[in-house]
Amino acid sequence: MITSEVCVQKFKDDYRFRLAEKSINLYLLATEQLLDYCSKPFYELTTRDIRNWLVHLEDNEYKPITVKSKLAGIKLFYKYCKEEELVKHDPAVSIPFPEIEDRLPHYLEHSQLLQLRRIVENRVDERAVIEVLYATGVRIGELVAMKKEEINWSERIITIPNGKRKKARMVLFTRYCGEYLRKYLDERDDDHQYVFVNPSATGPASIRTIQDRFMSYKKDLGIHLSPHTLRHTFAAHLAIKGMPLACIQDLLGHDSPHQTQLYARLYSHARKEMYDEWM
């Protein structure tokens, strides 16, 4: 029988091309934490062992969403072990995920979006980031990875080659967004392939830097705000304008049942807001 270390490495090697790097690293960390907590080789762990570890996480005040993510990693690890016949029984398969309260995604009203635009009116790079996030609905990781060659200016389409779960898709952008994006790119004098670069133009923009800027906007406006808020705003505003939910989800790159259900609720809420406004 192989050791736990060898098994975890095999799991990593087999899944590193199937999952985003961030996801596989989180799953590996969860697996290593479980094995360390139980002080047993992977093939000796039982369902009770995994349940005890989950209780340990809860006792140490891990958030339900974090526990759920870790359990997802453990389930995938043991599914792999079962498929490779490294274990006879999957000890994680019968363990349910913790229940998590699904909060309706927060999005900006048009007046709040206008306020956000105003506070960055004279900062071309920041305004371009905001317009692209809002017009395309991309995730912040997809934004900083975006390359100039992936923009089709005539069709106003941006190709996202490596979205979540490494699933490629295309997103659209408006003429309004294109104007600010073009202005930002025209003002740059570097030859980097990335659409957005860091302040010193030595490499791609940093996720942390953009998040910090949004924290500043949040303080200035006194509202809940993050880069992901603009993704929700993108979806909600399209719903208000009448775009079918299925089309919105294609643009967002969603394929999980959980996300489908969550955005269906957002869609219904946004459509009701429009109805209430006109009645």
Q: Is 232 a catalytic residue?
A: no
Which of 156, 228, 269, 271 is flagged as catalytic?
228
**What are the start-end ranges of the E strands in the chain?**
151-152, 157-160, 169-172
State the residue for tokens 């960055």.
120
pTM of the model: 0.64
Q: Which amino acid is at 153?
A: W
Which of 70, 127, 231, 232 is flagged as catalytic?
231
Q: Is 228 a catalytic residue?
A: yes
The token pair at 214 is 């949004």
CB hemisphere CA count around 257 (13 angstroms): 0
- Per DSSP, helices labelled H in 120-256 are 124-136, 140-145, 175-187, 207-221, 227-240, 245-252
Which of 164, 180, 184, 267 is flagged as catalytic?
164
Strand partners, 152: 157
Helix, strand, coil percent values for the chain (each to nearest 5): 60, 5, 35
Which of 107, 217, 254, 267 is flagged as catalytic?
254
Which of 107, 184, 263, 267 is flagged as catalytic?
263
Q: Which of 39, 34, 63 is nearest to 50 (CA)?
A: 34
Which of 75, 139, 232, 237 is flagged as catalytic?
139
Q: Is 165 a catalytic residue?
A: no
Q: Report d(CA 176, CA 135) in Å as an integer.
A: 9
Q: For residue 199, how far is the Cα from the chain centroid?
A: 24
Q: Is 263 a catalytic residue?
A: yes
First-to-last alpha carbon distance for the chain, in angstroms, is 69
Tens digit of each residue's pLDDT, the chain (279 residues): 789 999 999 999 988 888 888 888 999 999 999 999 999 999 999 999 999 999 888 878 788 888 999 999 999 999 999 999 999 999 999 999 887 766 677 889 899 999 999 999 989 999 999 999 999 999 998 999 999 999 999 999 999 987 565 678 899 999 999 999 999 999 999 989 999 999 888 899 999 899 999 999 999 999 989 999 999 899 888 887 878 888 888 888 876 555 666 667 777 777 676 555 554
Distances (CA, A) of 220 to 21, 53, 115: 34, 42, 10
Enumerate domains of the chain plus CATH numbers: 4-83 (1.10.150.130), 110-278 (1.10.443.10)
3-state class (DSSP) for residue 147: strand
